Amino acid sequence: MNLFIADLIDNTMKKNLIYICLMALLLVTGCDSVIERYPLDVPSAETFYTNETEVQGGVNACYSFVVAGDNRYLVPEYSWDGLSDVVFIRGGGFAQDNMMSTLDFKNGYFRTLWLAIYQGIGRCNLMLEKIEANKDKIAADKVKQFQGEVYFLRAYYYLRLTNMFGDVVYLDKPVTSVADGKAVTRMAKAEVLKKIYADFDKSAELLITSTVKTLGRATWGTAMSYKARAALQNNDWAVAAAAAKSVIDSKKYSIMPSYAALFTEAVLKSATNTEQILTQGHLVTANNATIFTQNTSPRSVAGGTTVIVPTQNMLDSYLCIDGLDISKSPLYLKTKPYDKRDPRLRYSFVLPGDMWNGFIYDTRKDKPTTLNLAGATVKNLDSYNSTEFTSFTGYLVRKYYDFQYVSKLTQCETPFMLCRYAEVLLTYAEAKIELNQIDADCLSAINLVRGRADVNMPAVTAGSQAEMRRIVRTERKVELWNENLRYQDLLRWKRAEVLLSRPILGRPVLGEFDKYPSVSFDEFGDPVYDVASYVAHPSTDYRVLILTNFNKNRDYLWPIPETELSLNPGLGQNPGW
């Protein structure tokens, strides 16, 4: 047997020995090329973007940071409003810390945001260069289309950047070396704004003849609407009014008849949605599906977390159908607090007593059971009695919520409108009011929004500038609730120091509004609470969610992130940080 094995080894070994010797000889005499290895699944950047398909893909990739940031609670469609008084994010560390002013410039989110936006800008600058370089290989109308979209996106990114950081580094060409990247300085926000306007204008000019109407791509109207937004957010009233007016006069957009239907997939995905100006699509396959459903689902949806919920502060801001706030309207009854209110309340919130997910929804502690669709008494999974992690405010988000995702909470594919016509109308109205041009155009812009068929709030008539200011701000708060504009509004109105020093509330645990003092309203239509008088009633209290503590000497701007500052001290820091 040994002999047999030996023989076997002998034979195979001889062959292998020869092979080894040959290989060895080859290798010993070889050179670097023997140990050269390159990626097997992706192209090299140096030789890329040489034809229309590649450039088209490059332009598409410029949209990737239109939603910026990796914090799932802070991605705008999950609610940038969670930074303000109208939406509460449970466990939303950053949002709450920001409102309590406990962050410092080392917080990673600041850099995450900074990096995301500059990645967007970097891609735009690279593509402008590549479009130019490949001009003769791309059809002329495509060149205009590509450039138009990229100019829009670059301005969009700079607008977000200046909103959060004030003066920023302005670049219109790719930076290719680390040394160059460290040598940059910041440009005054006012100067950057001019560049933003110029890019929006260029984009509008290039896209005005475009026939591309694909949902999600920038158009002439998108560029002009964002120019209006940019001007408004910088209190540049004349520019805002003019840009908004051009969108209104173009008659490309109109108010859709139903607010209730506007945020449903049927309308959001339809080409006949005349109100949408920029819509972001989501698909699991594109790795950008959202967890909106998980964050807003009640506890009766298995896996729902009710992390993002409307606040009592917002609920109190909805007027009664007579156009008066709840402290003045005779229609308001504390025992029926949700009745006879602006219909948008019911379109936006899930309220106690609503049939939701097949159950009568109520978080009251004394309601351990509830009724289901069939009228049977079942365990109330949303009651405080079942879990203290039910909605902290007693309300849920209805706007954009879609039941088709309850079995796949983290794969929500609902598109979100990043800009819609109602905002343009309200921008126009506010700019006109601030310019003290309270004319018929101005009133009609507000009344178009209020007069939507299924909203039908009483028309507004001319009033004093202060009165009109209160009206347009309240309208904006209500119409655009949870559409990611509120925080920036509070900053530009310098209202953050007031509203983010008031407590953020949930409803009374037992829902008994009549046991508490009435809410009053300040001159801008925002509710004022006498919290001290609530705290004396343990366990049946209004729920105080956060005692905010906005620092007006610091928090109007976010800090230049730590790492960026240490790489380039020449950037300088914002005041107070």
Partner 1 sequence: MKKIILLFCLIISFSVIFAQQKSVTGRVTDEANDPVPGATVIAKGTTSGTVTDADGNYKIKISETSKILTISFIGFEPQDVNISDKSIADVKLKLSSIGLEEVVAVGYGTQKKANLTGSVQSVKGETLAKRSTIQTSQALQGMAAGVTVTSNSGKPGKEGTSIRIRGIGTLNDNNPLVLIDGVSSSIDAIDPNDIENMSILKDAASASIYGSRAANGVILITTKRGKTDNVSVTYKGSVGITTLLTIPKNASAWDYMALYDEANGNDLRNDLGVPGGYIYGPDKINAWKSATDRDAYPNSDMIREAWKKKAYQTQHYLGFAVGNEKFRSNTSINYSGQDAHMPNSDYKRYGVRSNNSYTMNKFVEVGFDLSIRNTTIRDAAPNDEIQGMMRQPAIYQTRYSNGIWGATYGGTPHTMQFIYDGLNMRYEDYQETLAKIYAKITPFKGMQLDFSYTPKVSMDNYKNVNKTTYVYDYKTGLPVVGPIGLVTNFANMTERRDKTREDDINILATYNKSLGKHDIGILGGFQYLTNLYNTMQAYRQVNNFQQFEEINAYDPTGMTNSGYSNEWALMSYFGRLNYAYAGKYLLEANVRYDGSSRFANGYKWGVFPSFSGAWRFSSENFMQQFNWLSNGKLRASWGELGNQAGLGSNYPFALTVATNQYNVFGGVLNPGYAPVNYALTDITWESTRMIDFGLDLSFFKGKLDATFDWYKKDTRDILLNIAIPGVMGYANSPKQNAGSVENKGWDLSLSHNNTMGKFYYKVTGIISDVQNKITNLGGLAPQVSGVHVKQVGSPIDAIYGLQADGFFSSFAEARAYPVAQYGKLQGGDIRYIDQLTIDTDGDGIMDAADNKLTGTDRVVLGNPIPRYTYSLDVYASYKGFDLTLFFQGVGKRDGYVSGWLSYPFQNASTALVQHLDRWSEANPNPNAAYPRLSINQQSNNLQPSSFWQISAAYARLKNVQLGYTLPSQLLKNKSISSVRFFASGTNLFTMSNMPLGMDPESPETVQNSTPLLSTYTFGVEVKF
Task: Give residues 412-451 in contact with partner 1 (rule: CB under 8 A).
Answer: 415
Q: Does 256 bind partner 1 (CB under 8 A)?
A: no
Separation between Cα atoms, residue 158 and residue 316, nearest integer Å: 35
Q: Does 532 bind partner 1 (CB under 8 A)?
A: yes
Task: Give residues 55-74 in contact with partner 1 (rule: CB under 8 A).
Answer: 57-58, 60-64
Specify the residue, 30 or 353, whose C-beta has the smaller distance to partner 1.
Answer: 30
Say if CB 397 and CB 482 are below 8 A apart.
Answer: yes
Separation between Cα atoms, residue 114 and residue 560, nearest integer Å: 8
Specify the residue, 275 or 489, whose C-beta has the smaller distance to partner 1.
Answer: 275
Specify the residue, 313 or 447, whose C-beta has the smaller distance to partner 1.
Answer: 313
Specify the residue, 76 or 561, whose C-beta has the smaller distance to partner 1.
Answer: 561
Contacts 24+ apart (CB under 8 A), 43-46: none
Q: Does 389 bind partner 1 (CB under 8 A)?
A: yes
Specify the residue, 10 or 132, whose C-beta has the smaller distance to partner 1.
Answer: 10
Query: Among 100-108, 228-236, 255-263, 493-501, which window interacts with partner 1 (CB under 8 A)?
Result: 100-108
Q: Does 411 bind partner 1 (CB under 8 A)?
A: yes
Structure tokens given for 324: 């008066």
Q: Does 357 bind partner 1 (CB under 8 A)?
A: yes
Q: Does 39 bind partner 1 (CB under 8 A)?
A: yes
Separation between Cα atoms, residue 315 and residue 34, nearest integer Å: 70
Q: Does 286 bind partner 1 (CB under 8 A)?
A: yes
Element (H, E) at 128: helix 108-133
Smallest separation, CB 450 to partner 1 (Å): 31
Please classify residue 374 by burial: count the beta carbons closer than 10 Å to its beta carbon, then call 0-12 exposed, 13-18 middle and 19+ buried. Answer: exposed
290: Cβ contacts below 8 Å, ≥ 6 apart: 75, 77, 78, 282, 412, 413, 414
Query: Among 326-334, 338-346, 357-365, 417-425, which window interacts with partner 1 (CB under 8 A)?
Result: 357-365
Nearest CA to 394 out of 372, 357, 359, 361 is that of: 361
Structure tokens given for 200: 């929006």
State the residue for tokens 């506007």.
Answer: 262
Query: Among 136-144, 298-306, 394-402, 442-450, which window interacts with partner 1 (CB under 8 A)?
Result: 298-306
Q: Does 6 bind partner 1 (CB under 8 A)?
A: yes
Smallest separation, CB 281 to partner 1 (Å): 3
Q: Does 172 bind partner 1 (CB under 8 A)?
A: no
Element (H, E) at 350: strand 349-350
The amino acid at residue 344 is: R
Q: Does 19 bind partner 1 (CB under 8 A)?
A: yes
Say if CB 204 and CB 156 are below 8 A apart.
Answer: no
Separation between Cα atoms, residue 338 and residue 340, nearest integer Å: 7
Separation between Cα atoms, residue 218 and residue 216, nearest integer Å: 7
Structure tokens given for 303: 């896996």
Residue selected from 72, 195, 537, 554 as contacting partner 1 according to rule CB under 8 A? 537
Say if CB 512 and CB 540 are below 8 A apart.
Answer: yes
Say if CB 44 and CB 38 are below 8 A apart.
Answer: yes
State the residue for tokens 């109208």.
Answer: 86
Smallest separation, CB 165 to partner 1 (Å): 11
Nearest CA to 430 out of 223, 162, 231, 197 is that of: 231
Smallest separation, CB 123 to partner 1 (Å): 5
Structure tokens given for 510: 């037992």
Smallest separation, CB 321 to partner 1 (Å): 32
56: Cβ contacts below 8 Å, ≥ 6 apart: 142, 146
Q: Does 406 bind partner 1 (CB under 8 A)?
A: yes
Residue selected from 75, 86, 87, 171 as contacting partner 1 according to rule CB under 8 A? 171
Smallest separation, CB 59 to partner 1 (Å): 8
Query: Among 5-13, 224-232, 313-321, 513-521, which window interacts with partner 1 (CB under 8 A)?
Result: 5-13
Q: Does 198 bind partner 1 (CB under 8 A)?
A: no
Residue selected from 162, 222, 305, 391 as contacting partner 1 according to rule CB under 8 A? 305
Specify the residue, 77 or 434, whose C-beta has the smaller distance to partner 1.
Answer: 77
Ordered DSSP codes for 59-80: HHHGGGGSS--S-TTTSHHHHG
User: Which x/- pattern, by CB under 8 A, does the window 201-240 give for partner 1?
Assistant: -------------xxxx-----------------------
Q: Does 274 bind partner 1 (CB under 8 A)?
A: no
Residue selected from 444, 454, 531, 552 as contacting partner 1 according to rule CB under 8 A? 531
Nearest CA to 457 out of 291, 321, 349 is that of: 321
Task: Give residues 105-164 in contact with partner 1 (rule: CB under 8 A).
Answer: 106, 111, 114-116, 118-119, 121-123, 125-126
Q: Does 251 bind partner 1 (CB under 8 A)?
A: no
Smallest separation, CB 572 to partner 1 (Å): 14
